[in-house]
Homo-oligomer: A and B are copies of this chain.
């Protein structure tokens, strides 16, 4: 460490040096009103000379605003956190926060213990606002945050009780897009592998598929439930082939499941996309690494994070922003040209 533990200058010393009172110095620094041009200049000079940096803790105590926002991820399986999805969300959040003085706190809760800790952090008001990610069903966390009178923005939507403020990808629209792409390519017997129907995304993507099929007057009942994972995709595809050996296309509600489906199709001797076209959802890196590369629905994950943070900032400023649905788009690759 080396350097002697030098005491940092306080506002008092700045004021002293600038020849003004502490309150003036404070106002000058937070550029509030009622500070003369002279005083402001003198304070700025003193700040520079002393290398003064305000003590955020003291400020927080005085204003009772922590100056932080919390990103909470509550999920039993943190392996899921490894999904690039989260990283992109965080990059987006970071970008939005960069324009402010807010600092991001991150809390992952996988265990009961972790959730208690999260609850304590919330209750202690270490953060002025909270962003919730990957809520399963009716996560108690949401209710807690609500009851604590803290601004909450949810990324994605929990299944029960639509939160007042959320940012989500347009899952239903994306699934329609995917299905319509298959239809317009002339496919007729289009099956779907659905994701966990205990998540909003799982349901919405299923619904989008059914809508597109209905609009085209096709049979939308060839569906097989699964769980968003690659292994789940393999199993679901295998079952689909047994039940509907004549299918000519599959919409999988996640890229991981789509990758699994491709593996199962190949194992069954079907060629992709000739015999069976496959479309996924998410546009994860894996979509470029399947063979053939995966046609999929891209969702703007980074924008999701950014909009979540923006919405939270608005909320903390007392505004009443509207929930946001982010547009998705089709990325055509080889698995469904």
Taking A105-B104, A290-B289 as contacts, is the C-beta distance between A124 and B87 under 8 angstroms?
A: no
Stretch at the interface among A2-10, A29-37, A214-222, A323-331: A2-10
B-facing mask of A257-284, CB < 8 A → 1, else 0? 0010000000000000000000000000
Cα distance, A111 to B97, chains bound together (Å): 13
C-beta contact mask, A56-85 vs B, less than 8 Å → 1, else 0? 111011001010100000000010011110
Inter-subunit contact A149/B3 (CB<8 Å): yes
Interface-facing stretch out of A38-46, A114-122, A239-247 = A114-122
- The reply to whether B98 and A90 contact each other, CB–CB distance below 8 Å, is no
| Contact residue among B81, B91, B107, B114 (Cβ-Cβ distance under 8 Å from A103) | B107
Could you say which interface size class chain A belongs to?
35 or more
Residue of chain B at shortest CB distance from A150: B1
Complex Cα–Cα for A88 and B81 (A): 8
A287 to B2, CA, bound (A): 44
Of the candidates B58, B98, B124, B290, the one whose C-beta lies within 8 Å of that of A117 is B98
Rounded to whole angstroms, the CA-CA distance of A123 and B259 in the bound complex is 47
Q: Are A106 and B81 interface neighbours, CB within 8 A?
A: no
Instruction: Determine if A183 is an interface residue (Cβ-Cβ < 8 Å).
Output: no
Answer yes or no: A94 CB below 8 A from chain B CBs. Answer: yes
Residues of the B chain whose Cβ atoms lie less than 8 Å from the Cβ of A68: 105
CA distance A259 to B291 in the complex (A): 13
Q: How close is A249's CB to chain B, nearest CB, in angstroms?
A: 22
Q: Residues of A at under 8 Å CB distance from B?
A: 1-3, 5-6, 8, 51, 53-58, 60-61, 64, 66, 68, 78, 81-84, 86-88, 90-91, 94, 98, 103-108, 111, 113-114, 117, 120-121, 123-126, 146-147, 149, 151, 259, 285-286, 289-291
